[in-house]
Structure formats: structure tokens, C-alpha cells
A = this chain, B = another copy of it.
Amino acid sequence: MAKIKVTIWNEFYHEKVNDRVKSIYPEGMHACLKEGLACDDFEIRLADLDMPEHGLTEEVLNDTDVLLWWGHCRHDAVSDEVANRVVAHVRNGMGFIPLHSAHYSKPFTRLMGSTCSLYWREVNEHARVWCVNPAHPIAQGLPQQFVIDHEECYGEPFGIPQPDDIVFITWFAGGDVFRGGCTFTRDRGKIFYFHPGHETFPNYKNEYVLKVISNAIRWAAPAPAMPDRGNDYRNPLEPVND
């Protein structure tokens, strides 16, 4: 069976300039995710902001089935050209999994068309991720709820279009709820937004978080494209006697 080709993109900034983050993710969050997601059916590569073309050349994206994206304080440093390239690949079938503060990334906001705004606070509170859609492929093998020991709180209203499916809703100790695990489709591309992953907590080592992301990768992997009608589309299929 062909492996699913996964590219994990990270702006890879906090890990270099913040000692606490560096101690948690010495090689970067993307490297930690690569290790945690490793399995027989994934072939994982890494890319980051500082690479030429942010590591997301046409060649890399043509060879990517599912792209994970982590960005936070350097969204604006992503070039419009690369952001639009990612958007085009998603519409053409590439799976896309924006994580945590990637809700404000250029590719995600351009794919959503809405503000993607939310409320937030950093008080080290714990969170409970509840499954509200047990039949969904992304929920397979998960419990009805799991705990994240510390996470940045994200709160409603979350400025997203109505999701295709809400798979998880998160409870925060400080009093908020958040539609933190949602799917969307844009043309042939499947998208899953998932909120955990603040840089100051080791949540990409949480087994449940990793399980959700693994499931999402398999769910978002593209099927072959449907054949196009080609140049015939301007001819009616039926006699038009008008």
C-alpha cells in the first residue's frame, strides 16, 4: 500500500528564541510531531518558514498528500505566493491540518473566507476535549473525552464558517467552550482544524492529541481526481429545442 506523504510545516520561531519552548521542543514542534506520528503508513517530511520558499515549493507540495501547519507570531512573514500555492494545492485535493494558532494563518483564513477570530487567554488552565461525533473517522479509537493538562484557552464565538462536521468541542477550566476539532471541504481538499498545541506546553506529546492528528491525516488523504469533462462542456448533453 502506498504510504501517505505528510509534510509538517512549522514557523519554527518560539523554539529558537524562548528557553521554555526550547526545553520542551528542542528540535522544534514539527520534529516532535514527526516522532509522535511516526508509523508504517506515513512518510513524513519537515518544512519551516526559514527554508527557501518556506520549504513549500511546487515540487514539495506535489509530493505531499497532507500538510500540517503550525504558525503563531510570524503569519505575516509567510509570502503571499507560498500561501496561495498552499491554498491552490488544498483546493486540488491536498489534505490540510492547521493546528492551534494556525487559525490565523494565511492559508487557513483564505480557505475559510471568514475572520477566524476567537477569544483567548493564557492562564495555564486545563482542558477537556469532548467527542460530539463518535461515528466520525477522526474520532476512532478515542475516548468520549480526554484531558489536556495545560493549554491556552480558545473561546467562542469562533469566526469560522459552519463546519461540515464538528468532531470535538473543548471545555476549559476557566469557563469557556470551543469548537476545537472541525472539518471543512474546499473543492476536493479536506481540512481539519484542531486547537491543541500552545508552544509552552508539551501537548504534541499527548497520546490522544497524536491519535486525533493521525486519524485526521488518514481522513484527509486525497483520493484520485475525478476526470474532467475536458473541452466538451460547452456542448449540451441533450437536444435543446428552445
Contacts and interface: CB of A to CB of B under 8 A. Distances in A.
A225 B226 CA distance: 33
Interface in A103-150: 110-115, 117, 119-126, 128, 130-135, 137, 139-145, 149-150
Contacts of A140: 223-224
Residue among A128, A133, A155 with max Cβ neighbours from chain B (10 Å): A155
A131 B111 contact: no
Given A157-B132, A185-B161, A238-B174, A233 B113 contact: no
A62 interface: no
Interface residues of A, number: 79
A177 B174 contact: no
A143 B112 CA distance: 25
Contact of A236 (B112, B125, B143, B164): B125
Contacts of A164: 162, 164-165
A238 B133 CA distance: 23
Interface of A: 87, 91, 93, 110-115, 117, 119-126, 128, 130-135, 137, 139-145, 149-150, 153, 155-159, 161-162, 164-166, 169-177, 179, 184-190, 223-229, 233-238, 240-242
